[in-house]
Amino acid sequence: MAGAGHSRLIFALDVPLLEQAEPWVARLAPHVDYFKVGLELFSSAGPEAVRMVTRHGQAGVFLDLKLHDIPTTVGRAACVVRGLGVRMLTVHAQGGRAMLEAAAREAGPDLCLLAVTRLTSQAAAVEEVVELARLAQLAGCGGVVCAGSEAASVRKAVGTDFRIVCPGVRAPGSDRGDQVRAVTPFEAIHAGADYIVVGRPIRDAADPVQAARAISAEVARALAS
């Protein structure tokens, strides 16, 4: 289920300008499977951000727009996003079944629709996250976004053929601060995540390429365990 490079790593391009994003893509493209384009960069650069990543090689684009609107609107947006060549798109699971079904229908087989269960910045009961993951699966989504601490329960509920993507990952040994739901890359993959989303632990590292490599090594260790 891994993408281009099988690193299972998604790097979050959390910068406001295309000119700031491109050097990161050039530098990290050999080390990650996907680049996450979020609200900040997409608000500034739009589809050009998607085209810029695509120009740099094999890494795919994960468009993290967390769509949440009436079914027709979200479905039509998913149709446009599919046309951009994006490989993963997020919607909010809390938008409900009809919205998820409309989005999944328009996404088609080549755009993996991921339902965000609960934001990892919010408290959430694991049962609630599992319920939302089940709903997303029934509605035809390709996977979910959830915290690493919930990945094992979600995996048990949805089986193997459903993508689990975990943000809020912290490098081993780093300060987790008040992020009670943060886990290490090893823990997330070991729990059943297919991909981990990492931003600041790579972006703020003295040597970002080395940080990405170290995280990939953790991922490989988890896959082999």
Residues in the interface with ligand C5P (CB under 6 A) total 13
106 vs 216 by CB, closer to ligand C5P:
216
* Residue 196 φ/ψ, nearest 5 degrees: -120, 145
38 vs 75 by CB, closer to ligand C5P:
38
Q: Is 66 a catalytic residue?
A: yes
Rounded CA separation 225/190 (Å): 8
Is 148 within 8 Å of 169 (Cβ atoms)? Answer: yes
Give, as one character, the DSSP assignment of residue 4.
S
60 vs 168 by CB, closer to ligand C5P:
168
108 vs 207 by CB, closer to ligand C5P:
207
Counting contacts by CB under 6 A, is residue 185 touching ligand C5P?
no
Is 197 within 8 Å of 176 (Cβ atoms)? Answer: no
Counting contacts by CB under 6 A, is residue 149 touching ligand C5P?
no
Is 164 within 8 Å of 123 (Cβ atoms)? Answer: no
The least CB distance from residue 198 to ligand C5P, in Å, is 5
Among 43, 58, 72, 121, indicate the residue that binds ligand C5P (CB under 6 A): 121
Counting contacts by CB under 6 A, is residue 43 touching ligand C5P?
no
Rounded CA separation 70/88 (Å): 20
Counting contacts by CB under 6 A, is residue 192 touching ligand C5P?
no
At 96, is the secondary structure helix, strand, or coil? coil
Rounded CA separation 33/12 (Å): 11
Region binding ligand C5P by CB under 6 A among candidate stretches 77-85, 107-115, 127-135, 196-204: 196-204
Q: Which residues contact 57 (CB under 8 A, 6 or more apart)?
A: 4, 29, 30
Is 84 buried (19+), middle (13-18) or exposed (0-12) by CB count in 10 A?
Answer: middle
Counting contacts by CB under 6 A, is residue 199 touching ligand C5P?
yes
Residue tagged active-site, from 66, 68, 76, 213:
66
Counting contacts by CB under 6 A, is residue 168 touching ligand C5P?
yes
Counting contacts by CB under 6 A, is residue 14 touching ligand C5P?
yes
Query: Which positions are catalytic?
Result: 66
The binding site for ligand C5P (CB under 6 A) comprises 12, 14, 38, 120-121, 167-168, 179, 197-201
